[in-house]
Amino acid sequence: MSIKSQLKRMMMENQGKEADSFSSMFQPPKDPWDEMAWWEKGLDVLSRPNYASANVAKALLTGQNPFQAAARGITGQDRTTYSDVLKLTGMDPGLARGVLGFRRRHSRPHNLRHVRRGRRS
C-alpha cells in the first residue's frame, strides 16, 4: 500500500470523528439532574436548604451577593456544601473537614430556646 493511499484511508476514517467532536463543542452541558436516579433527586431536593445556607457562607467569604447565592442553592443551580466552604477557607482535606462539614450540615440549634441570658433555665 502506498503512502498516498494510506493517508487517504486515514483521512476518510477520521473525517466522521472530527465532525462529531466539533459538533459536541457546541452542545449545552448536561444537567446533573437528568442523570440522577429518582431517589437521588429526592435527596437533592431535601438538601437544598443546606445548599442555600452553604452558598450564603461561601458568598460572604468571597464578597458575592448572599441573596443571589441563596437563590442558586435553593434552586439547585449550585450544590455547595460546608465541606466546600471549609475547603475555600484553606482547610486541608481529610477526616476533620469531612466531619466538620457533616456536623454543620446536620446540626440544629434545637436547645437554644431554653437558653436565657447565658444560663439554661
Per-residue pLDDT of the chain (121 residues; tens, 9 = 90+): 677 777 777 777 766 555 555 566 667 777 788 888 999 999 999 999 999 999 999 999 999 999 999 999 999 999 999 888 988 988 777 777 667 765 554 444 444 444 444 444 4
Task: Name the maximum alpha-carbon separation found in the chain.
Answer: 94
Residue with cell 466531619: 99
Cell of 83: 465541606
Ordered by start, the domain boundaries in the chain are: 38-105
Cβ neighbours of 59 (radius 10 Å): 21
Main-chain dihedrals φ then ψ at residue 120, nearest 5 degrees: -80, 135
Claim: this prediction has a pTM higher than 0.75: no
- The residues that bridge with 119 in the sheet, in sequence order, are 116
Question: How many Å apart are CA 61 and CA 69, to the nearest integer?
Answer: 12
Can you list the alpha helix ranges (DSSP code H) found in the chain? 3-24, 38-62, 66-74, 82-89, 95-106
